[in-house]
Structure 1
Amino acid sequence: MKLDARLQAVLDFVPEGGAVADIGTDHGYLAAALIEEGRAEHVIASDLNLGPCEAARRTVREQNLKEQIEVRQGDGLTVLAPGEVQTACIAGMGGALMADILEAAPLVVRKLKVLVLQPMNGEYELRHYLYQHSWHIADETLVVADDRIYTVIRAEKGRRKMPDPLTLEIGPVLWEKKPELLRHHIESLLFATRRAAAGMEKSERAKKSAKYKKMKERIKALEERLVW
Protein backbone atom coordinates (compact mmCIF):
# COMPACT_ATOMS: atom_id res chain seq x y z
CA MET A 1 0.00 0.00 0.00
CA LYS A 2 1.74 3.17 -1.23
CA LEU A 3 1.13 6.19 1.00
CA ASP A 4 1.73 9.86 0.29
CA ALA A 5 4.32 11.72 2.37
CA ARG A 6 1.71 12.91 4.86
CA LEU A 7 0.35 9.48 5.77
CA GLN A 8 3.81 7.91 5.56
CA ALA A 9 4.97 10.35 8.24
CA VAL A 10 2.02 9.31 10.40
CA LEU A 11 2.91 5.64 9.92
CA ASP A 12 6.58 6.28 10.76
CA PHE A 13 5.60 7.68 14.18
CA VAL A 14 3.61 4.58 15.16
CA PRO A 15 5.56 2.28 17.51
CA GLU A 16 5.91 -1.28 16.28
CA GLY A 17 3.63 -4.01 17.60
CA GLY A 18 0.33 -4.00 19.39
CA ALA A 19 -3.04 -2.67 18.33
CA VAL A 20 -3.63 0.70 16.63
CA ALA A 21 -6.72 2.79 15.96
CA ASP A 22 -6.97 4.73 12.69
CA ILE A 23 -9.56 7.40 13.44
CA GLY A 24 -11.04 9.13 10.38
CA THR A 25 -9.71 6.33 8.22
CA ASP A 26 -11.19 7.54 4.91
CA HIS A 27 -10.17 4.82 2.41
CA GLY A 28 -8.31 2.68 4.94
CA TYR A 29 -4.92 3.15 3.27
CA LEU A 30 -3.09 3.93 6.51
CA ALA A 31 -4.70 0.97 8.27
CA ALA A 32 -3.61 -1.37 5.49
CA ALA A 33 -0.06 0.00 5.43
CA LEU A 34 0.26 -0.35 9.21
CA ILE A 35 -0.34 -4.10 8.86
CA GLU A 36 1.64 -4.60 5.65
CA GLU A 37 4.72 -2.80 7.03
CA GLY A 38 4.59 -4.63 10.34
CA ARG A 39 3.82 -1.57 12.47
CA ALA A 40 0.67 -3.07 13.96
CA GLU A 41 -0.64 -6.54 14.69
CA HIS A 42 -4.25 -5.38 14.62
CA VAL A 43 -5.94 -2.16 13.46
CA ILE A 44 -9.38 -0.77 14.23
CA ALA A 45 -10.23 1.68 11.45
CA SER A 46 -13.14 4.02 12.03
CA ASP A 47 -14.95 6.89 10.39
CA LEU A 48 -18.02 8.89 11.27
CA ASN A 49 -19.62 8.47 7.83
CA LEU A 50 -20.77 5.37 5.99
CA GLY A 51 -19.07 6.19 2.66
CA PRO A 52 -15.49 6.17 4.00
CA CYS A 53 -16.24 3.03 6.03
CA GLU A 54 -17.41 1.24 2.88
CA ALA A 55 -14.29 2.43 1.03
CA ALA A 56 -12.10 1.19 3.89
CA ARG A 57 -13.85 -2.20 3.89
CA ARG A 58 -13.20 -2.43 0.15
CA THR A 59 -9.49 -1.72 0.72
CA VAL A 60 -9.38 -4.38 3.45
CA ARG A 61 -10.96 -6.95 1.12
CA GLU A 62 -8.68 -6.08 -1.79
CA GLN A 63 -5.57 -6.34 0.39
CA ASN A 64 -6.81 -9.57 2.02
CA LEU A 65 -6.52 -8.10 5.52
CA LYS A 66 -9.92 -8.97 7.02
CA GLU A 67 -8.28 -10.91 9.87
CA GLN A 68 -6.09 -7.98 10.91
CA ILE A 69 -8.29 -4.90 10.29
CA GLU A 70 -11.72 -4.21 11.68
CA VAL A 71 -13.74 -1.27 10.31
CA ARG A 72 -16.21 0.46 12.64
CA GLN A 73 -18.50 3.36 11.90
CA GLY A 74 -18.77 5.87 14.73
CA ASP A 75 -17.70 9.14 16.29
CA GLY A 76 -14.01 9.44 17.03
CA LEU A 77 -12.55 7.36 19.84
CA THR A 78 -16.00 6.41 21.15
CA VAL A 79 -15.90 3.35 18.86
CA LEU A 80 -13.18 1.89 21.10
CA ALA A 81 -13.26 0.14 24.45
CA PRO A 82 -10.66 1.29 27.02
CA GLY A 83 -7.41 -0.63 26.55
CA GLU A 84 -8.43 -2.05 23.16
CA VAL A 85 -5.53 -0.28 21.42
CA GLN A 86 -2.25 1.23 22.62
CA THR A 87 -1.84 3.84 19.87
CA ALA A 88 -4.38 6.10 18.17
CA CYS A 89 -3.76 7.86 14.86
CA ILE A 90 -5.94 10.84 13.97
CA ALA A 91 -5.19 12.57 10.68
CA GLY A 92 -6.75 14.99 8.21
CA MET A 93 -8.89 17.17 10.48
CA GLY A 94 -8.50 20.37 12.49
CA GLY A 95 -6.55 20.46 15.73
CA ALA A 96 -9.48 21.83 17.72
CA LEU A 97 -11.65 18.94 16.51
CA MET A 98 -8.92 16.49 17.51
CA ALA A 99 -8.92 17.97 21.01
CA ASP A 100 -12.72 17.54 21.11
CA ILE A 101 -12.34 13.89 20.05
CA LEU A 102 -9.86 13.27 22.86
CA GLU A 103 -12.06 15.09 25.36
CA ALA A 104 -15.12 13.01 24.38
CA ALA A 105 -13.54 9.65 25.31
CA PRO A 106 -11.58 10.09 28.57
CA LEU A 107 -11.64 6.42 29.58
CA VAL A 108 -10.23 5.36 26.20
CA VAL A 109 -7.59 8.12 26.18
CA ARG A 110 -6.48 7.19 29.70
CA LYS A 111 -5.41 3.76 28.45
CA LEU A 112 -3.57 5.00 25.34
CA LYS A 113 0.21 5.21 25.31
CA VAL A 114 0.83 7.10 22.08
CA LEU A 115 -1.11 9.59 19.95
CA VAL A 116 -0.04 10.24 16.35
CA LEU A 117 -1.78 13.38 15.13
CA GLN A 118 -1.77 15.18 11.79
CA PRO A 119 -3.78 18.39 12.17
CA MET A 120 -4.81 20.38 9.11
CA ASN A 121 -4.92 23.56 11.21
CA GLY A 122 -5.24 24.58 14.86
CA GLU A 123 -1.85 23.21 15.90
CA TYR A 124 -1.62 25.66 18.81
CA GLU A 125 -4.97 24.59 20.25
CA LEU A 126 -4.07 20.91 19.91
CA ARG A 127 -0.64 21.20 21.52
CA HIS A 128 -2.03 23.35 24.32
CA TYR A 129 -4.71 20.74 25.01
CA LEU A 130 -2.14 17.93 25.11
CA TYR A 131 0.11 19.70 27.62
CA GLN A 132 -2.91 20.62 29.74
CA HIS A 133 -3.98 16.96 29.93
CA SER A 134 -0.72 15.28 30.93
CA TRP A 135 0.56 14.56 27.42
CA HIS A 136 3.66 16.04 25.81
CA ILE A 137 5.14 16.29 22.33
CA ALA A 138 7.74 13.53 22.04
CA ASP A 139 8.47 14.14 18.35
CA GLU A 140 7.25 16.22 15.41
CA THR A 141 8.02 16.46 11.73
CA LEU A 142 7.11 18.55 8.71
CA VAL A 143 6.38 17.01 5.32
CA VAL A 144 5.28 18.27 1.92
CA ALA A 145 2.37 16.67 0.08
CA ASP A 146 0.22 18.23 -2.65
CA ASP A 147 2.34 21.41 -2.49
CA ARG A 148 1.43 21.98 1.15
CA ILE A 149 3.41 21.64 4.38
CA TYR A 150 1.86 19.33 6.96
CA THR A 151 2.73 18.88 10.63
CA VAL A 152 2.77 15.41 12.16
CA ILE A 153 2.95 15.08 15.96
CA ARG A 154 3.77 12.12 18.20
CA ALA A 155 2.47 12.69 21.72
CA GLU A 156 3.23 10.48 24.70
CA LYS A 157 1.97 10.29 28.28
CA GLY A 158 3.73 12.40 30.87
CA ARG A 159 3.35 15.90 32.27
CA ARG A 160 5.88 18.47 31.06
CA LYS A 161 6.16 22.23 31.44
CA MET A 162 3.82 24.10 29.09
CA PRO A 163 5.88 25.79 26.31
CA ASP A 164 5.35 29.50 25.65
CA PRO A 165 2.49 30.36 23.24
CA LEU A 166 4.65 31.06 20.19
CA THR A 167 6.62 27.84 20.63
CA LEU A 168 3.34 25.96 21.01
CA GLU A 169 2.25 27.33 17.65
CA ILE A 170 5.54 26.64 15.86
CA GLY A 171 6.07 23.30 17.60
CA PRO A 172 8.41 22.73 20.57
CA VAL A 173 10.23 19.77 19.04
CA LEU A 174 10.33 21.40 15.60
CA TRP A 175 11.94 24.46 17.15
CA GLU A 176 14.44 22.27 18.99
CA LYS A 177 15.33 20.11 15.96
CA LYS A 178 15.27 22.90 13.32
CA PRO A 179 14.29 20.66 10.36
CA GLU A 180 14.82 21.84 6.79
CA LEU A 181 11.20 22.93 6.36
CA LEU A 182 11.02 24.95 9.58
CA ARG A 183 11.74 28.31 7.92
CA HIS A 184 8.94 27.69 5.41
CA HIS A 185 6.66 26.71 8.29
CA ILE A 186 7.39 29.90 10.23
CA GLU A 187 7.12 32.01 7.08
CA SER A 188 3.63 30.61 6.44
CA LEU A 189 2.58 31.60 9.98
CA LEU A 190 4.12 35.03 9.41
CA PHE A 191 2.33 35.47 6.08
CA ALA A 192 -1.05 34.70 7.64
CA THR A 193 -0.42 37.12 10.51
CA ARG A 194 0.76 39.93 8.23
CA ARG A 195 -2.30 39.45 6.04
CA ALA A 196 -4.60 39.70 9.07
CA ALA A 197 -2.75 42.82 10.27
CA ALA A 198 -3.03 44.40 6.83
CA GLY A 199 -6.79 43.89 6.95
CA MET A 200 -6.98 45.65 10.31
CA GLU A 201 -4.88 48.55 9.04
CA LYS A 202 -7.78 49.63 6.83
CA SER A 203 -9.57 50.81 9.97
CA GLU A 204 -8.16 53.49 12.27
CA ARG A 205 -10.22 52.08 15.12
CA ALA A 206 -8.83 48.58 14.57
CA LYS A 207 -5.28 49.94 14.48
CA LYS A 208 -5.79 51.37 17.98
CA SER A 209 -7.08 48.07 19.40
CA ALA A 210 -5.26 45.73 21.77
CA LYS A 211 -5.76 42.94 19.22
CA TYR A 212 -3.81 44.86 16.56
CA LYS A 213 -1.02 45.61 19.04
CA LYS A 214 -0.72 41.91 19.89
CA MET A 215 -0.67 41.04 16.20
CA LYS A 216 2.23 43.43 15.56
CA GLU A 217 4.07 41.94 18.53
CA ARG A 218 3.47 38.46 17.11
CA ILE A 219 4.86 39.50 13.73
CA LYS A 220 8.03 40.77 15.41
CA ALA A 221 8.37 37.57 17.46
CA LEU A 222 7.93 35.35 14.39
CA GLU A 223 10.48 37.41 12.44
CA GLU A 224 12.96 36.88 15.27
CA ARG A 225 12.40 33.11 15.09
CA LEU A 226 13.60 33.11 11.48
CA VAL A 227 17.14 33.83 12.66
CA TRP A 228 19.22 31.01 14.12
Structure 2
Amino acid sequence: MPSLDARLEAALALIHAEVHADIGSDHAALPVELVRRGRVRRAVVVELTPGPLDVARQAVARAGLAGHIDVRAGNGFAPLAPGEVHSASITGMGARTILGILRRAGEEVPPALVLQPNDSAPLLRRWAGEAGFHVTAERLAAGFWNYAVLRFERRPGPDPAYTDLPLAAALEYGPHLLRAADPLLLAQVHADIAHLTPLAAPGRPTQDALETARTALSWLTDPENKKPALRGR
Protein backbone atom coordinates (compact mmCIF):
# COMPACT_ATOMS: atom_id res chain seq x y z
CA MET A 1 0.00 0.00 0.00
CA PRO A 2 1.59 3.32 -1.05
CA SER A 3 1.94 6.01 1.58
CA LEU A 4 -0.29 9.05 1.23
CA ASP A 5 1.11 12.06 -0.59
CA ALA A 6 0.72 15.58 0.78
CA ARG A 7 -2.65 16.24 -0.84
CA LEU A 8 -4.21 13.01 0.48
CA GLU A 9 -2.72 13.62 3.94
CA ALA A 10 -4.37 17.04 3.87
CA ALA A 11 -7.67 15.43 2.88
CA LEU A 12 -7.37 12.80 5.62
CA ALA A 13 -6.85 15.52 8.24
CA LEU A 14 -10.24 17.02 7.33
CA ILE A 15 -12.21 13.76 7.50
CA HIS A 16 -13.81 12.36 10.65
CA ALA A 17 -17.04 10.37 10.40
CA GLU A 18 -18.75 7.15 11.33
CA VAL A 19 -19.28 6.10 7.70
CA HIS A 20 -17.40 7.76 4.86
CA ALA A 21 -17.45 7.30 1.09
CA ASP A 22 -14.45 7.87 -1.18
CA ILE A 23 -15.68 8.51 -4.71
CA GLY A 24 -13.31 7.60 -7.53
CA SER A 25 -10.92 6.10 -5.02
CA ASP A 26 -8.50 4.48 -7.48
CA HIS A 27 -5.98 2.63 -5.23
CA ALA A 28 -8.11 3.00 -2.05
CA ALA A 29 -5.11 4.39 -0.12
CA LEU A 30 -7.16 7.16 1.50
CA PRO A 31 -10.01 5.01 2.89
CA VAL A 32 -7.53 2.38 4.08
CA GLU A 33 -5.63 5.00 6.08
CA LEU A 34 -8.86 6.56 7.35
CA VAL A 35 -9.85 3.24 8.89
CA ARG A 36 -6.34 2.39 10.11
CA ARG A 37 -5.99 5.73 11.91
CA GLY A 38 -9.47 5.65 13.40
CA ARG A 39 -10.74 8.63 11.43
CA VAL A 40 -13.75 6.61 10.27
CA ARG A 41 -15.42 3.44 11.53
CA ARG A 42 -16.44 2.20 8.10
CA ALA A 43 -15.74 3.29 4.53
CA VAL A 44 -17.30 2.74 1.14
CA VAL A 45 -15.09 2.90 -1.94
CA VAL A 46 -16.82 3.77 -5.23
CA GLU A 47 -14.93 3.28 -8.49
CA LEU A 48 -16.29 3.37 -12.02
CA THR A 49 -13.36 1.99 -14.05
CA PRO A 50 -12.71 -1.79 -13.94
CA GLY A 51 -8.91 -1.55 -13.59
CA PRO A 52 -8.87 0.82 -10.59
CA LEU A 53 -11.83 -1.09 -9.13
CA ASP A 54 -9.73 -4.28 -9.05
CA VAL A 55 -6.77 -2.38 -7.61
CA ALA A 56 -8.97 -1.00 -4.83
CA ARG A 57 -10.35 -4.43 -3.97
CA GLN A 58 -6.86 -5.90 -3.83
CA ALA A 59 -5.59 -3.05 -1.65
CA VAL A 60 -8.43 -3.47 0.83
CA ALA A 61 -7.86 -7.24 0.96
CA ARG A 62 -4.10 -6.82 1.51
CA ALA A 63 -4.79 -4.40 4.33
CA GLY A 64 -7.09 -6.94 5.99
CA LEU A 65 -9.92 -4.41 6.08
CA ALA A 66 -12.61 -6.11 4.00
CA GLY A 67 -14.86 -6.07 7.06
CA HIS A 68 -14.56 -2.27 7.34
CA ILE A 69 -14.30 -1.12 3.72
CA ASP A 70 -16.89 -1.99 1.08
CA VAL A 71 -15.70 -1.61 -2.53
CA ARG A 72 -18.47 -0.96 -5.05
CA ALA A 73 -18.63 -0.48 -8.80
CA GLY A 74 -20.57 2.53 -9.98
CA ASN A 75 -20.72 6.16 -10.99
CA GLY A 76 -20.46 8.86 -8.32
CA PHE A 77 -22.96 8.55 -5.47
CA ALA A 78 -25.25 6.14 -7.35
CA PRO A 79 -24.05 2.97 -5.52
CA LEU A 80 -24.84 4.51 -2.10
CA ALA A 81 -28.17 4.17 -0.33
CA PRO A 82 -29.80 7.46 0.77
CA GLY A 83 -28.34 8.52 4.11
CA GLU A 84 -25.88 5.60 4.17
CA VAL A 85 -22.75 7.75 4.61
CA HIS A 86 -22.12 10.79 6.77
CA SER A 87 -19.40 12.31 4.61
CA ALA A 88 -17.64 11.78 1.30
CA SER A 89 -14.38 12.69 -0.39
CA ILE A 90 -13.58 13.28 -4.05
CA THR A 91 -9.89 13.81 -4.80
CA GLY A 92 -7.57 14.02 -7.77
CA MET A 93 -10.14 15.17 -10.34
CA GLY A 94 -10.78 18.41 -12.20
CA ALA A 95 -13.22 20.76 -10.53
CA ARG A 96 -15.73 20.47 -13.37
CA THR A 97 -15.70 16.69 -13.11
CA ILE A 98 -16.31 16.97 -9.36
CA LEU A 99 -19.13 19.44 -9.97
CA GLY A 100 -20.75 17.01 -12.39
CA ILE A 101 -20.68 14.26 -9.76
CA LEU A 102 -22.17 16.54 -7.10
CA ARG A 103 -24.90 17.91 -9.35
CA ARG A 104 -25.97 14.46 -10.53
CA ALA A 105 -26.26 13.38 -6.90
CA GLY A 106 -28.53 16.31 -6.03
CA GLU A 107 -30.13 15.85 -2.61
CA GLU A 108 -28.22 12.60 -2.07
CA VAL A 109 -24.97 14.48 -1.41
CA PRO A 110 -24.03 13.75 2.22
CA PRO A 111 -23.89 16.57 4.78
CA ALA A 112 -20.09 16.80 4.78
CA LEU A 113 -17.65 16.78 1.86
CA VAL A 114 -13.89 16.90 1.49
CA LEU A 115 -12.90 17.85 -2.04
CA GLN A 116 -9.45 18.11 -3.62
CA PRO A 117 -9.72 19.47 -7.15
CA ASN A 118 -6.73 19.52 -9.46
CA ASP A 119 -7.81 22.93 -10.72
CA SER A 120 -10.39 25.72 -10.39
CA ALA A 121 -11.18 25.47 -6.69
CA PRO A 122 -13.26 28.71 -6.90
CA LEU A 123 -15.89 26.77 -8.88
CA LEU A 124 -16.43 24.51 -5.87
CA ARG A 125 -16.59 27.40 -3.42
CA ARG A 126 -19.27 29.04 -5.56
CA TRP A 127 -21.19 25.75 -5.87
CA ALA A 128 -21.13 25.37 -2.10
CA GLY A 129 -22.74 28.77 -1.59
CA GLU A 130 -25.49 27.90 -4.08
CA ALA A 131 -26.07 24.40 -2.67
CA GLY A 132 -26.35 25.34 1.02
CA PHE A 133 -22.87 24.30 2.14
CA HIS A 134 -20.34 26.29 4.17
CA VAL A 135 -16.59 25.97 3.71
CA THR A 136 -15.46 24.99 7.21
CA ALA A 137 -11.77 24.24 6.61
CA GLU A 138 -9.16 24.54 3.88
CA ARG A 139 -5.62 23.34 3.34
CA LEU A 140 -3.01 23.85 0.63
CA ALA A 141 -0.79 20.88 -0.20
CA ALA A 142 2.39 21.19 -2.21
CA GLY A 143 2.87 18.95 -5.23
CA PHE A 144 3.17 19.49 -8.97
CA TRP A 145 1.32 22.68 -8.04
CA ASN A 146 -0.49 23.82 -4.90
CA TYR A 147 -3.54 21.61 -4.36
CA ALA A 148 -6.51 23.12 -2.53
CA VAL A 149 -8.25 20.73 -0.13
CA LEU A 150 -11.68 21.93 1.02
CA ARG A 151 -14.15 20.74 3.65
CA PHE A 152 -17.79 21.71 3.15
CA GLU A 153 -20.68 21.12 5.55
CA ARG A 154 -24.38 21.61 4.89
CA ARG A 155 -25.49 24.49 7.11
CA PRO A 156 -28.21 27.14 6.94
CA GLY A 157 -27.72 30.80 6.22
CA PRO A 158 -24.78 32.79 4.84
CA ASP A 159 -21.33 31.29 5.23
CA PRO A 160 -19.52 33.15 8.06
CA ALA A 161 -16.13 32.23 6.59
CA TYR A 162 -16.51 35.11 4.13
CA THR A 163 -17.44 37.77 6.70
CA ASP A 164 -15.25 40.89 6.48
CA LEU A 165 -13.20 39.46 3.61
CA PRO A 166 -12.95 40.82 0.04
CA LEU A 167 -15.36 38.41 -1.60
CA ALA A 168 -13.70 37.97 -4.98
CA ALA A 169 -10.33 37.26 -3.35
CA ALA A 170 -11.88 34.89 -0.81
CA LEU A 171 -13.67 32.89 -3.51
CA GLU A 172 -10.52 32.73 -5.62
CA TYR A 173 -7.98 31.92 -2.92
CA GLY A 174 -10.03 30.60 0.00
CA PRO A 175 -11.40 32.44 3.04
CA HIS A 176 -9.66 30.25 5.63
CA LEU A 177 -6.36 30.35 3.73
CA LEU A 178 -6.52 34.13 3.56
CA ARG A 179 -7.24 34.44 7.28
CA ALA A 180 -4.38 32.08 8.11
CA ALA A 181 -1.99 33.90 5.73
CA ASP A 182 -0.86 30.48 4.52
CA PRO A 183 2.75 30.76 3.25
CA LEU A 184 2.02 28.59 0.22
CA LEU A 185 -0.88 30.86 -0.62
CA LEU A 186 1.28 33.98 -0.34
CA ALA A 187 3.78 32.46 -2.78
CA GLN A 188 0.93 31.52 -5.13
CA VAL A 189 -0.51 35.05 -5.09
CA HIS A 190 2.91 36.54 -5.89
CA ALA A 191 3.26 34.07 -8.78
CA ASP A 192 -0.22 34.94 -10.07
CA ILE A 193 0.57 38.65 -10.05
CA ALA A 194 3.85 38.08 -11.91
CA HIS A 195 2.05 35.94 -14.51
CA LEU A 196 -0.97 38.19 -14.98
CA THR A 197 0.71 41.61 -15.02
CA PRO A 198 2.03 41.45 -18.62
CA LEU A 199 -1.27 39.94 -19.85
CA ALA A 200 -3.73 42.31 -18.20
CA ALA A 201 -5.43 45.18 -19.99
CA PRO A 202 -8.71 47.05 -19.43
CA GLY A 203 -11.67 44.95 -20.53
CA ARG A 204 -9.80 41.65 -20.43
CA PRO A 205 -10.63 38.89 -17.92
CA THR A 206 -6.95 38.91 -16.96
CA GLN A 207 -7.40 42.45 -15.65
CA ASP A 208 -10.07 41.30 -13.20
CA ALA A 209 -7.92 38.32 -12.18
CA LEU A 210 -4.96 40.63 -11.58
CA GLU A 211 -7.04 42.97 -9.41
CA THR A 212 -8.28 39.99 -7.41
CA ALA A 213 -4.71 38.78 -6.86
CA ARG A 214 -3.59 42.26 -5.80
CA THR A 215 -6.49 42.48 -3.36
CA ALA A 216 -5.50 39.12 -1.89
CA LEU A 217 -1.89 40.26 -1.54
CA SER A 218 -3.01 43.42 0.23
CA TRP A 219 -5.00 41.33 2.71
CA LEU A 220 -2.18 38.86 3.28
CA THR A 221 0.46 41.51 3.89
CA ASP A 222 -1.58 43.88 6.09
CA PRO A 223 -0.79 43.11 9.78
CA GLU A 224 -4.28 44.27 10.76
CA ASN A 225 -5.76 41.34 8.82
CA LYS A 226 -3.85 38.57 10.57
CA LYS A 227 -6.83 36.84 12.18
CA PRO A 228 -6.99 33.20 13.31
CA ALA A 229 -8.49 30.89 10.68
CA LEU A 230 -11.85 29.37 11.51
CA ARG A 231 -11.09 25.75 12.27
CA GLY A 232 -12.86 22.73 10.82
CA ARG A 233 -12.65 19.21 12.12
Q: CA deviation at 1:187?
A: 3.1
Q: Deviations over 1:25-65 (max 9, x none)?
A: 01010011011001111111111211111000010111111
User: Structure 1 pair 194/93, CA: closer, same or farther in 2 (3 Å)?
Assistant: farther
Query: Are residues 92 and 11 of structure 1, via their aligned partners in 2, closer, same or farther at CA, if it must alter by over 3 Å?
Result: same
1:72–1:190 distance in 2 versus 1, CA, 3 Å: farther
Looking at structure 2, the residues matched to 194 and 53 of structure 1 have their Cα atoms a distance apart, in angstroms, of 45
With CA pairs under 8 Å and 6+ residues apart, which has the higher RCO, 1 or 2?
A: 2
Equivalent residues in 2 for 1:1-228, closer than 5 Å: 2-15=3-16, 17-109=17-109, 112-145=110-143, 147-158=144-155, 159-161=157-159, 163=162, 164-191=167-194, 193-194=196-197, 197=199, 210=203, 212=204, 214-227=205-218, 228=221
- Asked whether the 8 Å contact 1:82–1:107 carries over to 2, the reply is no
Indicate the SS of the match to 2:45: strand
Q: Which consecutive residues of structure 2, in runs of 5 or more, have no partner in the other structure?
A: 222-233
TM-score by length of 1: 0.85
The 3-state SS of whatever aligns with 1:154 is strand
Change (3 A) 1:126 1:192: farther
Amino acid at match of 1:138: T
Asked if 1 retains the 8 angstrom alpha-carbon contact of 2:168 and 2:212, the reply is no
Contact 1:115 1:156 in 2 (8 A): yes
Measured in 1, the distance between the counterparts of 2:87 and 2:107 equals: 14
What is the alpha-carbon distance in structure 2 between the residues aligned to residue 194 and residue 90 of structure 1?
34
Q: TM-score, normalized by length of structure 2?
A: 0.84
- Unpaired runs of 5+ in structure 1? 199-206
1:77 and 1:178, CA in 2 relative to 1: closer, same or farther beyond 3 A? same
**Residue identity opposite 1:82 in structure 2:** P
AA aligned to 1:10 is A
1: CA distance, partners of 2:208 / 2:108 = 40
Assess, with a 3 A threshold, how the Cα gap between structure 1 residues 25 and 179 changes in structure 2: closer, same or farther. Answer: same
* Alignment coverage as a number of residue pairs: 212
Distance change >3 Å, CA 224–CA 105, structure 1 → 2:
closer
Q: Distance in 1 between matches of 2:69 and 2:212?
A: 46
Contact 1:86 / 1:114 at 8 angstroms: preserved in 2? yes
In 1: Cα distance, 2:99 partner to 2:158 partner: 18
8 Å CA contact 2:11–2:114 kept in 1: the answer is: yes
Name the Cα RMSD after superposition. Answer: 2.0
Residue type matched to 2:169 in 1? L
